[in-house]
Amino acid sequence: MTDTIPHLVYPAEVIASIAAASVVRAASFLSANGHSVAGTFSLMGWDGRIRFYANDAHARLIGLSLGQSVRVDCTLRGESLVFFSQICRIGAAGRWEIERPTTVHRRNLRNHVRIDTTTDDGVVLLVMSAQGMVSCAVQNLSEGGCAVACSDLELFKEGRVFQAWLAQPGVEPIGVYARCRWSSELADFGVAGLQFFQVSSEVQNRLAALIMSRVESPHEGR
């Protein structure tokens, strides 16, 4: 469902792509030891070292040590950028410095099959709020993201990164990490566009199965 783009391997290309993501403060994830922290990063200099800033200033990654391998995921201009490197300095809580990666992996996120959904489909996005779990109707869905209708746009501020669950009756919810790309207020409700991050092969397969079930099976009563 996605186009694979050749990896960036030349040092100048690697630095240029990281610098571009750094300038726009692209929403990112730093992952290690099976845990992830949402944040942004900046390029410290043309030697390629990177400083990662967690959105939560008190965030910590358990067991992270100098020299340990980490993964960083971010999105830039419709492409998913992924690179692997090592921790070279552990700063204050929520800040880590990373060595320059040797390659950057890219994937085009624009070529997903997208389907429209209705309330008859029963597909909703569950999002945690201060008042508890909120259910938002999914208006359209692809392997790369979805659009939702919501009554509280405070949950969907542009750039916000959060965990959510796609749910439908009789099916185990699909856990996803999402970033809000846009939101808009209409007469009676709000709508927001979300992009999925760090989609594992298992989650991708479940998303694909959900989408294909809607494509191949006509809705009863229509």
For residues 74 and 89, membership in a common domain is answered with: yes
| Full residue range of the structural domain in which residue 136 is found | 115-216
CATH number at residue 168: 2.40.10.220
Q: What per-residue confidence (pLDDT) applies to 51?
A: 93
| Domain co-membership, 99 together with 122 | no
Do 98 and 21 reside in the same domain of the chain?
A: yes
Looking at every residue in the chain, the average pLDDT score rounds to 81
Residue 42 contacts residue 50 (beta carbons within 8 Å): yes
Domain tally, the chain: 2
**Residue that is written with structure tokens 């959904």 in the block:** 117
Please name every residue paired with 5 in a beta bridge, in sequence order, or none if there are none.
106
Say what the pLDDT of residue 62 is.
Answer: 67
Q: Is residue 130 part of a domain?
A: yes
DSSP code of 1?
Answer: -
Residue 221 maps to a domain:
no
pTM: 0.51
| CA neighbours closer than 13 Å in the CB half-sphere of residue 169 | 4
**Whole-angstrom Cα distance, residue 74 to residue 79?**
8
Strands 28-32 vs 69-76: parallel, antiparallel or unpaired? antiparallel
Summarised one tens digit per residue, pLDDT across range 148-169 is 988 888 888 888 889 999 998 8
Instruction: Say if residues 91 and 57 touch (Cβ distance below 8 Å).
Output: no
Would you state the pLDDT for residue 1?
41
